[in-house]
Chain A
Amino acid sequence: MFEVKVKIMLKKGISDPEGANTLKALHLLGFDKVTDAKTIRTFDLLIEGTDKNKVKNDVEKMCQRLLTNPVIHNYEIEIEEK
C-alpha cells in the first residue's frame, strides 16, 4: 500500500486570486511581514500495490488525465510506502 501526495501548484504567470486575497487579509490583520501567499492544492491518495515505480507512473497519468491542466498547473508527487 502506498500513500501518495499530489501537490498541484499554479504555473508562474498564472494569477492566483485566492492567494492574493489571502495576502491582503493577512496584511489587514497586521501580519505585515508576509510578502507572498500562494494556494496549493493537495490530493492524498491511497493506492494498492507493491511496485513503487508503477504507482508513480499511474499517478503521473492521473495528473495528465484528470488532476491537472498542464496549461496552468505544475505538480509534485510524493510517495510513501505504508
Chain B
Amino acid sequence: MKIKNIKVGVLRIEGTNCEQESYDAFKRLGANPELLHLKQLLNIDCNKDEKRDVFDYQCLMIPGGFSVGDYIRAGAIFAARIKSKLQKNLTEFVKKEYPILGICNGFQVLIELGLLPGIDDAIPSSPEACLYLNDSNRYECRPTLLKHENNGKCIFTSKIPKNDIRLIPSAHAEGKLLFPIDRQKEYLKKLEENDQVVFRYVDPEGNYGGYPWNPNGSISNIAGICNNHGTVFGMMPHPERTFYKHQHPDWTRAGLGDLIGDGQAIFESVLDNISKRF
C-alpha cells in the first residue's frame, strides 16, 4: 500500500504526552496518522462518528507520558483499560503482524499488557517483565546515546545500520528493565538468541558505560526491545523528540547537515515496512 494511505492510530488518555510530536512524525513522512482517545476504541462516551476499531489502522502507537498519574505502576491502568475490552482484537492485531510502537510510557504499557518481551506467541495474563524505578531513584531527563544492536528482526529500525549510535533523549523515572530476579540471565539469553534486543545505552565511544550513560540501571544496558516477530517494539527514549536535526542539543556545534534527526529513521522504517507488506 502507498504510504499516504497508511493509517496510524496514536492512542492517548489522560496523562499521555508527546502524542502531538508522534502524530507529526508520521504526518511529516506522508502517512495518515490520527490522534485517537482510547474511549474511541472502547466505544465509551463518544459519538457514533468518533467510534473506531483497532483494524481501522495498520499501525498503533502508544506515546509517552504519565498516564493516569502512574497510579499503581506506570502504565498499569492504561494497560488494564485496554485489556478490559480490546484484548481479543489486539491479540489478533499482533498475530496478523500489524506493528505496535510504544515509547516511554507506551513501552511500560506494552510490558504491562504482556505484549513485550513477547518471547513466545502466548500472551501471559501477568507481565513477564517490569520497567522499575531508576537506580538513581529520580527522574532522569537528558539526551542519551543508543547503539543499534538488532540484526534485522525489528521492523522499526531497518533503516538504521547495525552498531550505529543515535542521540535520542530519555525522560523517565521508571525505565529499568527487569525480568524475574532468579531468571534474568535466562530471559536475556533468549532475547539475544531471538534477536529481540534493539537498542542499548552507550557512552560516546560506543562502550557500555553504566550510569549516567545508562540513565536507569536497566539490565544489560537495554533501552529497547521487540517481540519475537519484530513487529511490537518498545523503547524508553523518545525518538519523536529528535525528528529534526535542530532538535539535537548540539546542532549549533555539529551543524544541521541533512536536517534529519536521529529519531526519524524509526518512523520511516515502520512506514516502509507496512507499505511493502500490506
Q: A64-B125, A67-B72, A71-B179 are in contact. Are A15 and B130 (CB under 8 A)?
A: no
- Chain B residues whose CB sits within 8 angstroms of the CB of A65 once the complex forms: 80, 83, 125-126
B126 and A64 contact, CB distance less than 8 A: yes
**Stretch from B93-101, B131-139, B153-161 that touches the partner:** B131-139
The CA of A43 and the CA of B179, in the complex, are separated in Å by: 25
Within 8 A of A (CB), among B107-139: 112, 125-130, 132-133, 135, 137
The CA of A64 and the CA of B126, in the complex, are separated in Å by: 6
Given contacts A14-B178, A64-B125, A70-B127, 12 further A-B contacts (CB under 8 A): A13-B181, A17-B137, A21-B137, A64-B126, A65-B125, A69-B76, A69-B127, A69-B130, A71-B127, A71-B178, A71-B179, A72-B178
The CA of A65 and the CA of B125, in the complex, are separated in Å by: 7
The CA of A14 and the CA of B180, in the complex, are separated in Å by: 10
A70 and B180 contact, CB distance less than 8 A: yes
> Is B73 an interface residue when CB atoms closer than 8 A count as contact?
yes
Q: How many A-B residue pairs have CB under 8 A?
A: 44
The digit string for A1-43, where 1 denotes a CB below 8 A from any CB of B, is 0000000000111110110010000000000000000000000
Number of interface residues of A (CB under 8 A): 16
User: Which of B80, B83, B129, B135 makes the CB contact (< 8 A) with A71?
Assistant: B129
The CA of A9 and the CA of B149, in the complex, are separated in Å by: 35
| CB-nearest residue of chain A to B112 | A69
Q: What are 25 A-B contacts defined by CB distance under 8 Å?
A: A12-B181, A14-B132, A14-B178, A14-B181, A15-B133, A17-B133, A21-B137, A64-B125, A65-B83, A65-B125, A66-B72, A66-B76, A66-B80, A67-B72, A69-B73, A69-B112, A69-B126, A70-B126, A71-B127, A71-B128, A71-B129, A71-B130, A71-B179, A72-B130, A72-B178
- Chain A residues whose CB sits within 8 angstroms of the CB of B181 once the complex forms: 11-14, 71
- B187 smallest CB distance to A (angstroms): 10
- Chain A residues whose CB sits within 8 angstroms of the CB of B80 once the complex forms: 65-66
The CA of A65 and the CA of B82, in the complex, are separated in Å by: 12
- Chain B residues whose CB sits within 8 angstroms of the CB of A69 once the complex forms: 73, 76, 112, 126-127, 130
- B22 smallest CB distance to A (angstroms): 26
- Chain B residues whose CB sits within 8 angstroms of the CB of A17 once the complex forms: 133, 137
